[in-house]
Amino acid sequence: MFLGRIRRTPSGPVELVARHPDGGLISLAGLGGDDPVALIASLGLDRLAEHAAGRRPELAEDEVLFEPPVATCTKICCLALNYAAHAEESGMEVPPEPVLFFKPPSALTGHNRPVIAPARTRHLEHEVELAVVIGKATRDLPAERWREAVAGYTVINDMTARDLQLANIARNVPWDQSKGFDTFAPVGPYLATSDEVSDPQALELTLEVDGEVRQRANTKQMVFDIPRLIADLSDGMTLMPGDLIATGTIAGIAPLKDGETMRATVTGVGTLVNTVKFRSA
């Protein structure tokens, strides 16, 4: 299933929906709550599918406002340099161990929402990534049991104020702020449940800017695969339901201009669209 969180109007309540196979959205409001991860845990995928089966779409995608497809998120765990080609274009070596940084939940925004760069930056770059959605509290999970932690997958665009990041790297100080501004973690449109993705290490990733392909690669090229990442991150740190693991971007990062529109796609998971706005423009 492809589960989303939407509003019918800007001030309306958040509703849970499922994407119909033929297009359009089926309301799941009658199930109670707008948290897809919690509903997967409490009802199971079979009951969710039964509820949606045979129902016709009530809403069109272009008639609603998308929220991030997770209702609660305590942290966004982001992996740096997890593709060799991206490490090379960044002038860095492939790390011997996973390199972790965090984005705050306040950075989250939804599909078709603007990414707003603060006035302090004039150099914003895109980074398409596959995101793993954690389904239950997870700590010290062995790599071979990684699927126990996963509720599903979504698309994330790891927005970066590159000028601020490089300045902080040169000063040898943390650069998390350059990644953590409001709207710098667009995600969605949907949570693709785990049964929709048979092999998350065989997915095509692309990012287009106003129709021009900037990034293209496959998740099979990850340096550290998803089982290793979940085992590493949960070693001594609890991953909570709704937390996101952004598994790293691919080569092709490049500057963005005010008003440009990004289309970040992970095959079989979804296409996330966001337009860039610079406060300094």
The alpha helices in the chain, defined as continuous H runs, are 36-52, 84-89, 162-171, 226-233
Cα 281 from Cα 274, distance rounded (Å): 17
pLDDT bin (cut points 50, 70, 90) of residue 12 is very high
Number of Cβ atoms within 10 Å of the Cβ of 104: 17
Residue 252, CA atoms < 13 Å, CB-side half-sphere: 20
CA distances from 251 to 86, 90, 170, 214, 221 (A): 4, 9, 22, 9, 11
Res 152 pLDDT > 90: yes
What is the average per-residue pLDDT within 247-254? 96
- The pLDDT of residue 107 is 98
- Cβ-count burial of 262 within 10 angstroms (0-12 exposed, 13-18 middle, 19+ buried)? buried
Res 149 pLDDT > 90: yes
- The pLDDT of residue 24 is 94
Q: Indicate the average pLDDT of the chain.
A: 96
The CA R_g of the chain, rounded to the nearest whole Å, is 18
Are 249 and 154 a contacting pair, CB within 8 Å? no
- The pLDDT of residue 31 is 86
Cα 50 from Cα 48, distance rounded (Å): 5
- The pLDDT of residue 281 is 58
Cα 150 from Cα 191, distance rounded (Å): 11
Residue 211, phi-psi category: left (phi > 0), alpha (psi -120 to 50), beta (remainder)? left
Structure tokens at 55: 């129902």
- The pLDDT of residue 134 is 98
pLDDT bin (cut points 50, 70, 90) of residue 209 is very high
Q: Could you give the dihedral angle defined by the CA atoms of residues 96, 151, 35 and 196, in that order, rounded to the nearest 10 degrees?
A: 120
Domain boundaries, the chain: 2-66, 70-278
Q: Could you give the dihedral angle defined by the CA atoms of residues 192, 194, 196 and 197, in that order, rounded to the nearest 10 degrees?
A: 100
70-278, what's its fold? Fumarylacetoacetate hydrolase; domain 2 (3.90.850)
Res 280 pLDDT > 80: no
pLDDT bin (cut points 50, 70, 90) of residue 32 is confident
Place of tokens 């449109």: 189
SS3 16: strand
What is the average per-residue pLDDT within 186-209? 98
The model's pTM is 0.97
Determine the straight-line distance between the first and last CA of the chain, rounded to whole angstroms: 40
pLDDT bin (cut points 50, 70, 90) of residue 257 is very high
For 67-78, the pLDDT digits (tens) are 999 999 999 999
Res 253 pLDDT > 80: yes
Q: How does DSSP classify residue 73?
A: -
Structure tokens at 14: 């958040």
| Partners of 245 in the β-ladder | 77, 132
Cα 18 from Cα 91, distance rounded (Å): 42
Q: How does DSSP classify residue 13?
A: P
